[in-house]
Amino acid sequence: MKTLETTYAGLKLKNPIIVSSSSLTDSAEKNKKLCEAGAGAIVLKSLFEEQILLEVEDMEDFDPFVVGGNDLSEYFRHQKLEEYFELIRATKKVVDIPVIASINAYGMGNWTEFAKKIEKAGADALEINILALQTSLDYQYGEFEKKHINILKLIKKAVKIPVIMKLGDNFTNPVALIHQLRAHGADGVVLFNRFYPTDINIDKVEQCSGKAFTTEADLSKPLRWTGIASAAISNYSFAVSGGVHNAAGVVKSILAGASAVEVCSAIYLKGNGIIKEMTVGLMEWMDSHTMDDISMFKGMLNMQYRNEGINTFERTQFLKYYGQFKK
CA atoms within 13 A on the CB side of 206: 3
Tell me the pTM.
Answer: 0.90
pLDDT for residue 55:
53
Count of CB atoms situated within 10 Å of the CB of 209: 10
Find all residues with CB under 8 Å of 184, minimum gap 6, and list them.
Answer: 149, 152, 153, 156
List the chain domain ranges: 6-324
Instruction: Write the secondary structure of the chain as one string of H (helix), E (strand) and C (coil).
Output: CCCCCEEECCEEECCCEEECCCHHHCCHHHHHHHHHCCCCEEECCCEEHHHHHHHHHHHHHHCCCCCCHHHHHHHHHHHHHHHHHHHHHHHHHHCCCCEEEEEECCCCCCHHHHHHHHHHHCCCEEEEECCCCCCCCCCCCCHHHHHHHHHHHHHHHHCCCCEEEEECCCCCCHHHHHHHHHHCCCCEEEECCCCCCEEEECCCCEEEECCCCCCHHHHHHHHHHHHHHHHHCCCCCEEEECCCCCHHHHHHHHHHCCCEEEECHHHHHHCCHHHHHHHHHHHHHHHHCCCCCHHHCCCCCCCCCCECCECCCCCCCCHHHHHHCCC
Which one of 3.40.50.720, 3.20.20.70, 3.40.309.10, 3.40.109.10 gives the CATH number of domain 6-324?
3.20.20.70
pLDDT tens for the chain, 327 residues: list them. 899 999 999 999 999 999 999 999 999 999 999 999 999 999 999 986 655 554 555 545 544 444 444 454 554 566 778 999 999 999 999 999 999 999 987 655 667 888 999 999 999 999 999 877 787 888 788 999 999 999 999 999 999 999 999 999 989 999 999 999 999 999 999 999 988 889 999 999 999 999 989 999 999 999 999 999 999 999 999 999 999 999 999 999 999 999 999 999 999 999 999 999 999 999 999 999 999 999 999 999 998 876 654 567 766 666 555 555 565
Cβ contact 102:91 at 8 Å:
no
